[in-house]
Structure 1
Amino acid sequence: MAKGTIWTVLGVIASIIIAIILVQALFSVMWFLFKVAVVAVVALVVFFVLRSVFRRRES
C-alpha cells in the first residue's frame, strides 16, 4: 500500500468522525432550541390564562 493511499484512508476516516461529531452537536443544539421555544410558548399561554383569571376576580 502506498504512503499516499494510507493518508487518504486516514483522512477519510477522520473526516467521517469529525462529521459525526459536528452533526451530533448540531442536532443537540437544535433540540435544545426547540425545547426552549416550546417552553416559551407554554409560559406565554400560562401567563395570559393567569392574567385573565386575575383580571376577572378584580372586576
Structure 2
Amino acid sequence: MTKSTIWTILGVIAAVFIAWILVEFVFSAIVFLFKLVIVAVVALVVFFVLRAAFSRSA
C-alpha cells in the first residue's frame, strides 16, 4: 500500500464519520422542530378552549 492509498482510506473514514454526525444532528433538529410545532398547535387549541370556557361563565 502506498501513502496515497492510506490517506485515501483515512479520508473516506473521516468523511463517513463527519457525515454520520451531521445527519444525526440534522435529524435531531428536525425532530425538535416537529415537536415544537405540535406543542404550538396543542397550546393554541388549549388556549381557545379555555377562552371559550371562561367567556361563557363570565
Instruction: Give the TM-score taking structure 1 as reference length.
Output: 0.96
Tell me by how many angstroms 1:45 deviates: 0.1
Tell me by how many angstroms 1:53 deviates: 0.5
Q: Percent identity?
A: 64
Give the whole-Å Cα distance in 2 for the aligned partners of 1:55 and 1:42.
Answer: 20
Residue in 2 aligned with 1:3?
Answer: 3
Residue in 1 aligned with 2:18?
Answer: 18
Give the whole-Å Cα distance in 2 for the aligned partners of 1:34 and 1:16.
Answer: 27
Letter of the structure 2 residue corresponding to residue 55 of structure 1 = S
Give the whole-Å Cα distance in 1 for the aligned partners of 2:51 and 2:3.
Answer: 72
Tell me by how many angstroms 1:21 deviates: 0.2
Give the whole-Å Cα distance in 1 for the aligned partners of 2:20 and 2:45.
Answer: 38
The 5 Å alignment of 1:1-59 reads 1-58=1-58
Instruction: Give the TM-score taking structure 2 as reference length.
Output: 0.97
Letter of the structure 1 residue corresponding to residue 21 of structure 2 = I
Gaps of 5+ in 2: none
Give the whole-Å Cα distance in 1 for the aligned partners of 2:35 and 2:5.
Answer: 45
